[in-house]
Amino acid sequence: MTSHLFSTSTNGETHPLTYRLREDRGYVDLAEFQQKDGYEALRTTLRDLSPDDLIENMKTANLRGRGGGGFSAGTKWSLTARGEDHPRGYIVCNADEMEPGTFKDRMLMEEIPHLLIEGMILAGYANNARMGYIFLRGEYVLAAERIERALAEAREAGILGPKVCDSDFDFDIFLHTGAGRYICGEETALINSLEGRRANPRSKPPFPGQSGAWGKPTVVNNVETLCNVPAIALHGGEWYQNLSGGRSEDGGTKIFGVSGRVKRPGLVELPMGVSGAELLDMAGGMRDGLELKTWLPGGGSTGFLLPEHLELPLEFDAIGKAGSRLGTGLMTVVAHNQSVVSLTRNLEEFFARESCGWCTPCRDGLPWSVKLLRAIERGEGEEGDIDMLVALAHDIGPGKTFCAHAPGAAMPLETAIEHFRHEFEAGIRHAQHKAHAEPIPVGSV
Amino acid sequence: MTMDTPATGNTRVSKASQGNLIASAGHVNDFELTDEERHEIEHEMGHYENPRAASIGALKIVQKQRGWVSDGAVIAISDVLGIPSSDVEGVATFYSLIFRQPVGRHVILVCDSSSCFLTGHDELRDALSNELGIGLGQTTGDDRFTMLPVCCLGACDRGPALMINEDLHGPVDPGDVSALLERYT
């Protein structure tokens, strides 16, 4: 089963991530990948570019982290401890795709893992790393098979191992599969997990670029971020930045997607800055008889937006100004007859369950929010519960906790109350509008 | 302890694990890793700077054949890795896909994240519950199925989705649950 693609192109200069995908959507093996210029970027870079040149290209490209954080990948690379005074470290690919509503990295890894491998080797070259790990969630069984196959092909062909492509650079990659827990996607928790520990986040500083896995400089990048590197190395940072020409300052294209109550959920590669309305159109619009009530622009840890926000460009700054985050860029669409209270309860239950338990606001605050939301959902909320939820969201927000998990939970909670306060009020006991006290079950159409 | 399949071995494994509680108090641990398991774990250790990094992999290796991880297995793994068994236990109890008690022959992971929630997770979960007579976190009396919730399976375009063992299914119509389960005997 492969994800539906809204549109395809075989043009590498407009669709650097997807142009090599097969029509039958099967595995692109090494021979086919190389036939379509695969590993060309690696060969030219090893021959013609210094690590500093590649990092400069990455900075010019303004490729912002595709795992949801949106931090400039070039800037991250420029902060890695490199040079003779530092040991060679690691490139860790964050393939722990678990953000609710996100299914893009799965496609890249199942269909074209050689693109990820090429990106990781280039990242290794730029950051003076000696080895790469792909931290893949355990449930992605097919992706694991395909990645292992691609790694074996690359080793056999001399693309991985000593003297990569007959250069002086040596680099190898291992696949590390996880055993569950969303928190592993937090980069320092991921490093702890890679080291065989509980996935509690680490204190920063030091940042992983200074001291990460086993105390060595470590760069953690998302799958899609790394898959963008070969095209940037081959065509240059300026070309990549211009891909989004005029629509956004953020560089390049992105795998966007739509799920929820639309006619045809799926994925598409489009320039940064495309609008939510365009995406929704590509997904065939809402299912018959349904209207759009609200949407999450990029996963469960992003804020709710309204239909009027559909015209905004999907880019980090514009979505941020609207009170949400671009996140992973995959829209979750909610229909007019679905309860925002129920959906918020579902999201907070997710975050409560997935809290690693390390710090108090997150470990205790999230289950408390679930308790309040459940009461409101049943129409048994008490006076003051909504204010308590708002206060809770504030107290688990940015700067109050060890990592971004609880702030990620706070954003949908805060924005749900901000935009749909009347739905919450209807769930308060003795509310004036008692007639609306029964929330509509979310699954009913 | 030999390599029992979880289908027939649950009772005996449970007895073994009771023995291991005593083992940790100074008695003999009667759990033994098979040569193949030990070899696989040692191979895994070679991929990292430090053997500890193989702890999650080792737990998965043991679970692959036995279905779950007993107390004795935790101790045996800690011996191979050269780290305290409490550290292995800490890891084993942290990660949701490591099972520290017996599970059914087939594990159903029901995605309950937002996209599946919006496309009918509750109805699907209820259909499964009715068909199997168990709730989330429980195992059927015949040890055939265990049903667990799971984070977003990355199959949001096919919601509501679930996994049975290593097979991803979606979208699953609640009405088709019976036929789907029949494929897993």
**Which residues from B are below 8 Å from A103, CB to CB?**
154-157
Query: Of A301, A316, A335, which closes a domain?
Result: A335
Kindly tell me if the per-residue pLDDT of B9 is higher than 70.
no
Digit-coded pLDDT (tens) for A60-108? 999 999 999 999 999 999 999 999 999 999 999 999 999 999 999 999 9
Of A439 and B149, more confident:
B149
Classify residue A343 by burial, with Cβ atoms within 10 Å: 0-12, 13-18, 19+.
Answer: buried
The nearest CA of chain B is from the CA of A74 a distance in Å of 27
Residue by residue, DSSP assigns A188-243 as HHHHHHHTTS--PPPPSSSPTTTS-GGGS-EEEEEHHHHHTHHHHHHH-HHHHHHT
Q: Which residues constitute the domain of residue B80?
A: 35-94
Task: Report the pLDDT value the prediction gives residue B17, as an integer from 0 to 100.
Answer: 41
Task: Report the pLDDT value the prediction gives residue A438, as an integer from 0 to 100.
Answer: 56
Number of folded domains that form chain B = 2
Q: What pTM does this model have?
A: 0.93
The b/e string for A41-76 (b: 16+ C-beta within 10 A; e otherwise) is bbbebbeebebeebbbbbbbbbbbbbbbbbebbbeb
The nearest CA of chain A is from the CA of B167 a distance in Å of 8
Q: Which residue of B has its CA nearest to A350?
A: B113
Digit-coded pLDDT (tens) for A219-250? 999 999 999 999 999 999 999 999 988 889 89
Is B111 within any annotated ligand binding site?
Answer: yes
When pLDDT is averaged across residues A290-319 and rounded to a whole number, the result is: 97
Q: To the nearest whole number, what is the mean pLDDT of chain B?
A: 88
**Which residues from B are below 8 Å from A179, CB to CB?**
56, 59-60, 95-98
B12: pLDDT confidence band, cut at 50, 70 and 90? very low
Count the helix, strand and coil residues of chain B and give each as a percent rounded to the nearest 5.
Answer: 50, 10, 40
Task: Report the pLDDT value the prediction gives residue B30, as an integer from 0 to 100.
Answer: 83
User: Which A residues, 268 through 327, put their C-beta within 8 Å of a C-beta on chain B?
Assistant: 296, 300
Digit-coded pLDDT (tens) for A158-172? 999 999 999 999 999
Q: Which residue of B has its CA nearest to A345?
A: B114
Structure token pair of residue B37: 């398991």
Q: What is the CATH number of the domain that holds A192?
A: 3.40.50.11540
When pLDDT is averaged across residues A433-444 and rounded to a whole number, the result is: 53
Q: Which residues constitute the domain of residue A364?
A: 340-427
- ipTM above threshold 0.90: yes
Mutate to test the interface with B, among A259, A301, A444 (most CBs of B within 10 A): A259
Alpha-carbon span A445 to A31, nearest angstrom: 48
A174, A176, A182 ranked by CB distance to B151: nearest: A182
Q: Which residue of B has its CA nearest to A299?
A: B114
Query: Of A227, A244, A261, which closes a domain?
Result: A244
Query: Of A201, A224, A244, which closes a domain?
Result: A244
With both helix axes pointing from N to C terminus, report the angle between B85-94 and B71-81 in degrees, rounded to the nearest 10.
120
Amino acid (one-letter) located at A188 = T
Q: Which residue of B has its CA nearest to A196?
A: B53
Q: What is the CATH number of the domain that holds B58?
A: 1.10.10
Task: Report the pLDDT value the prediction gives residue B132, as an integer from 0 to 100.
Answer: 98
B8 in contact with A, Cβ within 8 Å: no
When pLDDT is averaged across residues A200-215 and rounded to a whole number, the result is: 96
Q: Are residues A227 and A102 in the same domain?
A: yes
Q: Are residues B111 and B165 in the same domain?
A: yes
B122 in contact with A, Cβ within 8 Å: yes
Kindly tell me if the per-residue pLDDT of A174 is higher than 70.
yes
Task: Report the pLDDT value the prediction gives residue B4, as an integer from 0 to 100.
Answer: 37
Alpha-carbon span A102 to A353, nearest angstrom: 18
Task: Report the pLDDT value the prediction gives residue A2, as an integer from 0 to 100.
Answer: 86
Alpha-carbon span B119 to A330, nearest angstrom: 16
Is B116 within any annotated ligand binding site?
Answer: yes
- Does the distance separating the beta carbons of B157 and A257 come in below 8 Å? yes
Range in A198-202, A206-210, A260-264, B24-28 the model is least confident about: B24-28
A106, A195, A334 ranked by CB distance to B154: nearest: A106
Q: What is the CATH number of the domain that holds A392?
A: 1.20.1440.230
A215 in contact with B, Cβ within 8 Å: no
Q: Which residue of B has its CA nearest to A296?
A: B114
Strands A89-95 and A218-222, how do they pair?
parallel
A433: pLDDT confidence band, cut at 50, 70 and 90? low
Task: Report the pLDDT value the prediction gives residue A403, as an integer from 0 to 100.
Answer: 95
Kindly tell me if the per-residue pLDDT of A144 is higher than 90.
yes
When pLDDT is averaged across residues A196-209 and rounded to a whole number, the result is: 96
Range in A23-27, A51-55, A278-282, A398-402 the model is least confident about: A398-402
Is B156 within any annotated ligand binding site?
Answer: yes
When pLDDT is averaged across residues A284-301 and rounded to a whole number, the result is: 98
Q: What is the CATH number of the domain that holds B149?
A: 3.40.30.10
Amino acid (one-letter) located at A193 = S
